[in-house]
Amino acid sequence: NVDLKDLANRLLTFDTEDVENHVPLTAAECLSVCHMAMEAMRSTDICIHIKTPINIVGDLHGQFHDLLRIFDALGQPPETFQWMPMCAIIDGQIFCCHGGISPNFMLQPFNLRGGQQANVQALNECKKPVEPVRPGILCDIMWSDPIGTAFSAQFSQSSETLTEAKWLPNKRGCSFSFSGQALEEVMRLFQTQMLIRGHQVAMNGYQSQLNRRCVTVFSAPGYCGVYNNISSILQIERLNDDSKSPGSFFLLRPMQRDPSALANLFWNELRDI
């Protein structure tokens, strides 16, 4: 049996300055945590409602030392962090997910006249456990991007496809890139004011797009030891009437790493059970 208290203590007390090493874990510990997480998430919906105050952390890409730095600066998450949905609606006003929105939101069973509750209920008809397939709503929530980013497909301005396009193919090879008009329609569908997402590197930690209705939050400073990017966490104490300024950004700069230590940033093997 795995001693969870001991495991949590080892993880949370690890020296954040020791960037060349990781907490040693056994295969049994990793498997036990995965199985317990499945049990904890079994009864939760695909989309949940969350209230402020809240800290929104973007992609970390396994940079555990930086996760501990965030905990040191902003505090550890509450017990509700065990809920692992695909998306969330914050205070009824912000749609929050990893990637973005889906053109399937414009199809049945979703309805512009249905209201937020009915459309969230339609989304929650996707039952867990689920492996997002492509094409599909859950794939898009995970992998779509706003138009105008590096992963948006490029077309000639004379292209009939682009002239009225709300959705374009995504260079990632799955999902779509969405326009400001497409985002406005989905925000009306869910009666929300803006989209907050992660998924893409933002050199300043965050990026505002599509008339400030879409904000990308990226939380892995010095991404993979290759970029010199700053990271951010969006802190929302309480939403106000200015939907384009939802909160403030807490910034983390990259830690200084010896280039020779980069090989140790990723686990190569697990200790024997």
- Could you tell me whether strands 87-90 and 94-97 are parallel, antiparallel, or unpaired per DSSP bridges? antiparallel
pLDDT band at 246 (very low <50, low <70, confident <90, very high): confident
Topology of domain 4-265 in CATH is: Purple Acid Phosphatase; chain A, domain 2 (3.60.21)
Mean pLDDT of the chain: 82
- For the chain, the maximum distance between any two Cα atoms, rounded to a whole number of angstroms, is 64
**What phi, psi does 223 have (nearest 5°)?**
-50, 120
Say if strands 176-178 and 145-146 run parallel, antiparallel, or are unpaired. parallel
Each residue's pLDDT tens digit, 95-115:
999 999 999 999 999 998 989
Q: Is the pLDDT at 273 greater than 50, yes or no?
A: no
Q: Which residues pair with residue 133 across a beta bridge? A: none
| List of long-range contacts for 26-31, beta carbons under 8 Å, 24+ apart | 26/270, 26/271, 26/272, 26/273, 27/270, 27/271, 27/272, 27/273, 28/2, 28/273, 29/2, 30/270
Q: Do the beta carbons of residue 219 and residue 204 sit within 8 Å? A: no
The C-alpha angle 61, 16, 258, rounded to 5 degrees, equals: 75
If you average pLDDT over residues 131-149, what whole number do you get?
A: 87
Q: Which two structure tokens, joined as six digits, stand for 74?
A: 């902003």
Judge contact between 70 and 57, C-beta under 8 A.
yes
Question: Would you give the DSSP letter of residue 53?
Answer: S
* Cα 175 from Cα 141, distance rounded (Å): 9
Q: Using only C-alpha atoms, what is the Rg of the chain?
A: 20
Domain boundaries, the chain: 4-265
- Residue 217 vs residues 61, 129, 163, 211, 253: alpha-carbon distances, Å: 13, 27, 29, 16, 14
Residue-wise pLDDT for 25-56, tens only, equals 888 888 888 888 888 788 788 898 888 988 98
What's the pLDDT tens digit per position in 7-21?
888 888 888 777 777
With 60 as the cut, is the pLDDT of residue 210 above it? yes
CA atoms of 145 and 151, how far apart (whole Å): 7
Query: Which residues are 249's β-sheet partners?
Result: 234
Q: Does residue 231 surpass a pLDDT of 90?
A: yes
- pTM > 0.85: no
3-state secondary structure 119-168: HHHHHCCCCCCCCCCCCCHHHHHHHCEECCCCCECCCCCCCHHHHCCCEE
Neighbours of 269 (CB within 10 A): 6
CB 191 within 8 A of CB 92: yes
